[in-house]
Amino acid sequence: MKRERARVLMVVLLVASLTMLVGGCAKKCVKVGEGVEPVAAPAVKSDMKEGSLAERGVEKSAGAVLEGRTSAPMLPVYFDFNKSNIRKDMQGRAEANAAFLKGNAGMRIQVEGNCDERGTNEYNMALGERRAQAAKKYLVNLGVEDARIDTVSYGEEKPLNYGHDELSWSQNRRDDFVINR
């Protein structure tokens, strides 16, 4: 009788320990739309003549980073939660980046995929890679040579904004375009 109780107690303790070990390491799951509204990408200035880079938000400050870790005069591309497709409102940014690259034939870039903090590290690394690959494919379809574009995923490891709200998360869901000289 004592042996049976001891065996049951050991099984219960083992199950409880495993549950705490596995469950204690998981991240909190946050669902989209829990009391917050999605935030659009930053506004783009349009005080220059039509068709110019400045109209699309690209200033002429050579080498300066305008948004994210993107090398000027290119601009980052932002994504919706849990998505890797180029949003309609981000297509102009990707097209401006492609035009810049086509005008600078010897230049190589690295597309860096980033995510917000929600989700597991493994999931976010995969999502960041899908985002970087989507941007690369978009640029290649616009005429930029495939061999000039490298991709990397940082997942959630390199946030720009350390807040825990939709505004912060929306700024961390992006691809950066970094010039490799």
- Give me the number of domains the chain comprises: 1
pLDDT above 50: residue 148? yes
**48 part of a folded domain:** yes
pLDDT at position 28, please?
41
CATH of the domain at 149: 3.30.1330.60
pLDDT of residue 13: 67
* pLDDT tens-place string over residues 106-137: 999 999 999 999 999 999 999 999 999 999 99
* Domain assignment present for 155: yes
In a domain, 102, yes or no: yes
Give per-residue pLDDT as tens, 12-56: 666 666 555 555 544 444 433 333 333 444 443 333 233 333 344
Q: Is the pLDDT of residue 140 over 70?
A: yes
Residue 2 lies in a domain: no
**Signed CA dihedral, 81, 82, 88, 91: sign only:** positive
The tokens of 23 are what?
Answer: 């469950």
Strand order in the sheet with 77-78: 77-78, 174-180, 108-114, 149-155
Q: How many whole angstroms separate alpha carbon 138 and alpha carbon 119?
A: 26
Provide the 8-state DSSP code for 120: -
Nearest one of 25, 4, 11, 92 to 55, comparing CA atoms? 92
**Residue 4 located in a structural domain:** no
Residue numbers of the domain that contains 175: 34-180
- pLDDT digit string, tens, across residues 71-93: 999 999 999 999 999 999 999 99
Distance CA(80)–CA(174), nearest Å, equals 9
Q: Is position 171 within any domain?
A: yes
- Asked if residue 56 is part of any domain, the answer here is yes
